[in-house]
Each structure stands twice: as structure tokens, then as C-alpha cells.
Structure 1
Amino acid sequence: MFLLIGAGTVYDQRSPPMSPNVISTRRLSARRLAAERLPRRRQLRPAKVEGAQGTHGEQPSVHAVRTAVRQHGSTAVRQRGLHRRHLPHLPRHRSHPQGKLYVCLSMGLCLVICCLILYFLFPRTVVLVPVFVQSVTVYFTPEAVSLEVTNLVNISNENFFPVQIVELDIQGLILKTIMGKSKQCNVTRLDARSQLLYNMKLVLSIEDKGLKTYCQSKAIPLHTLFLELQITMQVSYLSHNEQFFMNIYEYIDCGNNSTVPHLPA
């Protein structure tokens, strides 16, 4: 005699012992019979893997674990389908045929604006060009020969914004020797795309004995000296300072004041 309790089997002590194969077959049939008797709603519930343990602390069988996993997976799929059914139907975004045209036009407009800004605000060079030597005034003293040289230069602003000439530094050299320096601050202001003629003066002092004798000699009709001018111009524009360098070469007469305006060398 034997009794079926749940999924396990309790044997009467008076019944004769059975083989292990028979016991395992009867346990499996009892579990299938108990699963068939369960209502359908209960089967649809998600089965927990933790609840697949056997009675009296026994280890769960492989079949019980697989059944619990299958039920849990099918329930999750059903719940996912229900969630999809209850989602509201959102209208799809309709692509307009003119959208690409608007995007291309906006990009082209941005490129044109950037190119115009770069063209008008890109800094250009402030050009200083010598025009001619306007005059040379000679002064003879016992210590030296003084020369006051006046040059006419053309300063042009090629930018589309005004430029301020902050400083003009001039240095005169004869035979690679510095004979005089001149520094002028806050020279002038140039408007956009404009030019200006400016008189640049420099005083030279010749103290070399050989040059003094050469300039004061009356036997030589023409006293020509080769003069090199090193010019440094500091310019300010758009809150930015920049320096420009230039060398000018010209010849002067150091014997008398008969120098007339002439082009530089």
C-alpha cells in the first residue's frame, strides 16, 4: 500500500520494499498527475525557480527546474505583448521634401557670412613706401658735421578698418655705423582703405675724422654719402599691436645745402 502526498510518495512500513526504478517512475507519474490537476490560471502565473525545490528539503529535479523556467519565460513574453498593446499609437514624423532644401540654404548662408567676415576683418599689411628725399640741411661744427635729412614716405592702409600708427622708430647708418636715431610717438591715424604722405625727419651727427674731412673738403665738388635707414613702425588695430620693419637706401650730399628732392637709391 502507498499514499500520494503532493509530489512525493510516503510508503507504509507494512508494504514490502520496492526497487529504485519503480520508485522514481511512480514519483514522476505522480508529479505529472499533480501538474495536470492544477487549474489553468495557476499554470499561467510566472513560476519561480526558487519554488521548484522538492519537499522535505530535497534537491529539485531537472524536469521541475526546466518546467519552471519555461513557464517563467512564456509569462514574460505574454506580459511584454500586453505592454505593447497598451502603448499609445504615436504619429510618425513625416519628412517634408523641402527640409533638405532649407538645410542646404542655411548651410550655404552660414558659409557666405563666414567668408565675408574673414574677408573684411582679416588683417592686412600696412605698407610704407619711400617717395623721395625732400631735403638735406648741413651744419658744420668743430666737433662734427650735422645733417638734417627729411624724407617723404607714403603710408597706405589696405584694411577695411581704421589703423593707428602708435610709434615710428628710425635709425640712420653710414658705412654700417649708426649716426643718428629718431623716435616719434602717436604719429597719425589712417582710415580704412586710405593713404597718407608723411614727412619723416632724422638728424645725423658725423664725428669720424675721415668723413669730416671728406664733407668739409672744397677740392671735391660733390660729397656723396650712402645712407641706410632702418624703420620700425608699430601699428594698433582691433585691440592688437603689430610691428613692421623696412630698410630704405638713399644717397645724400654732406658738403653743402644744395641737395634737391630726388628719388631714393
Structure 2
Amino acid sequence: MEENGVINCVSGYRQIQKDEEGLFTFITVTKDVICDFDENSFASPSFELFAEYLNSCVFCRKLYVTSSVILCLLLSGLAVFFLFPRSIDVSYVGVKSIYVSYDQVNRVVYLNITSTLNITNNNFYSVNVANISAQVQFSKTVIGKSRISNITNIGPLDMKQIDYSVHTVIGDQMSYMYDYCTLTSIKVHNIVIMMQATVTTSYFGHTEQVSLERYQYVDCGRNTTYHYKRSENLNLAQLHNVPCLNV
């Protein structure tokens, strides 16, 4: 209602006060107030407190938004760092043991070769070693294959040694090796074989395969257990110095 150019406000209004600790509180005043919107009214202490309250609210809102954005970026960076897939390292330790048997009638040599792999998980979460596929070659001929599945889980930043066995058969066109492996005039019957292995790992629905191959001396004349420090791996350069068996 307007009276003599002055607008009467509704009886009862809320007033803002600021205490000694800088906190804003609303106080309800239950008397009639004349709202005379002139310059002096906007310069009143109550209006200044209200303006200061609004400014503080805007600052708090900006601080909240900025803090939220920084926190989201930080959490996203940590998630990427810890969940980003890293490679699985596979190294060939060597032949662990060899069990030798012969078929004198068919002139066949059987070698059951057990080898060891080191598998290292460089991730910050566990990975599953799904399977290991292996084969052995002698004189460019595959003499044995093997595959084992559902092997083990490797924890975060952990390493495990895994043994696997390959049953090999040296016969048919290579039956001459029976005479060499059973020759009693020599004590060590070393032959060079190529060990090939493919390790398949899985994590978070992602699969990864790592393949490796090594040339290895094995004794086909007796059962042998190798110590890792004494087992001998060959590289391609060393193969040029390995004598061939002439038949």
C-alpha cells in the first residue's frame, strides 16, 4: 500500500546480522517497516550486510566448484595411473629336468622336458595366467607340443615361477638319434633343441600374449635335473660353434 509516496511493507521481515565470528544469521522483526526506496535506504547497514552475505555466498560457490573440479581431475589421474594396462614380462629360466626313455624296437627316443618361466606382473591389479602353449623343435622339426590352461593368478607387482612340461618324440626320419643317445662310449649326449612358449594372460576382459624362444642344450642319454645357474641357454651366435651330428 502506498501512502504519501511511501510504500508500507508487510509487517514482519527478516534482517541479516553478522556476529563476531563472521557468521551471518537471519533475525525476524515483527513490526511494520516503511520501505522508502531512496538512496539512504540502500546505504543502510542491513543492506550492506545483505550485500556482503551475497558476496560470501558467491565466493563459497566458486570455491566449491573449483574444489570439485580439482578433486575430479585428481581422482581421474589416479585411476588412469593405477588402472592403465602395463606389459607382462615373461623370461625363460631354463630346463628344470629331463626324463629319458627309449623304444629299442622302433628306435625312438622319448624326452619329457620340464622347463621354468618367470612371469612378472607390472600392473597394480591381479592378472590371470590363462594358458601356456609350448613346443620343442629339433633339427627344424617339431618333436613335441604342450598346452596347459587355467594356471594361476599373479598379484599386483608380483612375480611367479611356473613349470610346464613337453613330451617329445625323436624317431621316424630321425631314428639315427637313437644310436647317438644310447652310445655308451661317451658320457654326455648333448643335443640342441629350440624351446618355444607363448603365455596368454587376461585382466579386465583384456588378453595379452607374450612369446619367446630359446636354444637349449639337453642330454638325451640320461635322466637329468638342471640347476638354474648351471643350465645353459644358447643364442643364435653360439649355434655357429655347435658341431653337427653327421650320419
- TM-score between both structures, scaled by the size of structure 2: 0.62
- Gapped runs of 5+ residues in structure 1? 1-92
- Could you tell me which amino acid in structure 2 is paired with residue 232 of structure 1? T
Q: Which residue of 1 aligns with 2:184?
A: 218
Q: Which residue of 2 aligns with 1:203?
A: 167
Residue 254 of structure 1, aligned match among 194, 198, 220: 220
Residue 240 of structure 1, aligned match among 199, 206, 220: 206
Moved over 3 A (4+): 93-108
Distance 1:167 1:259, change over 3 A: closer
Q: Does 1:192 pair with 2:156? A: yes
- Could you tell me which amino acid in structure 1 is paired with residue 98 of structure 2? V
Q: Which residue of 1 aligns with 2:110?
A: 146
- Could you tell me which amino acid in structure 2 is paired with residue 256 of structure 1? R
CA distance in 1, matches of 2:214, 2:64: 57
- TM-score between both structures, scaled by the size of structure 1: 0.58
Decide which structure has greater helix share: 1
Map 1:79-118; keep pairs closer than 5 Å. Answer: 104-118=66-80
CA distance in 2, matches of 1:109, 1:247: 47
Residue 124 of structure 2, aligned match among 149, 160, 164: 160
CA contact (8 A) 1:232 1:243 kept: yes
Q: 1:257 Cα shift?
A: 1.9
Residue 96 of structure 2, aligned match among 110, 118, 134: 134
What SS class does the counterpart of residue 111 from structure 1 fall into?
A: helix
CA distance in 2, matches of 1:263, 1:164: 28
Distance 1:218 1:183, change over 3 A: same
The answer to which structure, 1 or 2, has the higher relative contact order (CA under 8 A, 6+ apart) is 2
- Gapped runs of 5+ residues in structure 2? 1-53, 234-247
CA distance in 2, matches of 1:98, 1:235: 50
CA distance in 1, matches of 2:63, 2:194: 63
CA distance in 1, matches of 2:175, 2:158: 46
CA RMSD of aligned residues (A): 2.4
Q: 1:259 Cα shift?
A: 4.7
How many equivalent pairs are there? Answer: 173
- Could you tell me which amino acid in structure 2 is paired with residue 112 of structure 1? L
CA contact (8 A) 1:125 1:157 kept: yes
Q: Does 1:231 pair with 2:197? A: yes
Q: 1:121 Cα shift?
A: 0.7
CA contact (8 A) 1:222 1:253 kept: yes
1:173-216 C-alpha deviation (Å, 9 max, x unpaired): 11221110001111112222222222211111111123222222
1:117-174 C-alpha deviation (Å, 9 max, x unpaired): 1111111122222223221111011321001111122222221122111111111111
CA distance in 1, matches of 2:224, 2:206: 44
Map 1:10-25; keep pairs closer than 5 Å. Answer: none
Paired-residue identity, %: 32
